[in-house]
Structure 1
């Protein structure tokens, strides 16, 4: 198996720590956690991006993200939970995965602002029109 994510969900990588498993996915502890309990929710079937995932698996991901968020809050008592995922070339595992990260005030985790000021020649209204027109074309 060439996909790192597929090797993780099949426990073929060393030190895979599966916290939860269902028919459709596994939850594993991140090997480079931001905080204790930082985990990845990963489908057992190979997908790169969210739009490729079938509806049953998508529902399971959301259902389990709620279940794991409750677990993290019960066990680690964080100030909050950050849930995120990176797609396309930003997906370092080359396999869809959603991060659940317990967060604490002052933990140093932050949303980074762009290095340069965002510049566009479009207004928000113009961008809205572009997107809503594209939705109607589908």
Structure 2
């Protein structure tokens, strides 16, 4: 099995720190945590991006993110939690995964502004209309 994400989700990698697991997913501590408690939620079935998830797996991921957020807050008392996933070429694992990162004021984690101005703020109405038009033809799972 070539996919590292599949091997992690199926418990096939050595020294995994599995925190939670069910029939759809496995949740492990990130091996390069941004902060203590940084978790990854990985589906056991292979998916690359969020739009590929079937509805049962998507619901299981969201339910796990809620359950684990509660646990992170109880254990680490963070100032907040960032939840994110990276798709396309930004998915370095090439297997869908969601990050849950306990956050603290001044921890250095940032959502930075684009390096160059793209002017998207000037096209909000046009962007909204394009999105609404696209949603009319988008199949729902």
Same fold at TM > 0.5: yes
Secondary structure of 1:40 counterpart? strand
Are residues 1:86 and 2:61 paired? Answer: no
Secondary structure of 1:13 counterpart? coil
Q: 116-125 vs 11-20, which deviates more?
A: 116-125
Aligned equivalents of 2:40 and 2:121: distance in 1?
37
Aligned equivalents of 2:41 and 2:12: distance in 1?
17
- 1:1-138 aligned within 5 A: 1-119=1-119, 123-138=123-138
Aligned equivalents of 1:122 and 1:136: distance in 2?
24
Aligned equivalents of 2:30 and 2:21: distance in 1?
15
Aligned equivalents of 2:10 and 2:80: distance in 1?
30
Deviation per CA, 1:10-31: give whole Å up to 9, x if none: 2222321100000100100001
Q: Is there any run of 5+ residues in structure 1 with no aligned partner, and where?
A: none
Give me the TM-score of the superposition, normalised by structure 1: 0.94
C-alpha deviation, 1:33, in angstroms: 0.3
C-alpha deviation, 1:84, in angstroms: 0.2
C-alpha deviation, 1:122, in angstroms: 6.1
Aligned equivalents of 2:40 and 2:123: distance in 1?
36
Misfit runs of 4+, over 3 Å: 119-122
Q: How many equivalent pairs are there?
A: 138
Deviation per CA, 1:69-114: give whole Å up to 9, x if none: 0000000000000000001111011100000000000111111211
Aligned partners of 2:10 and 2:26 also within 8 Å: no
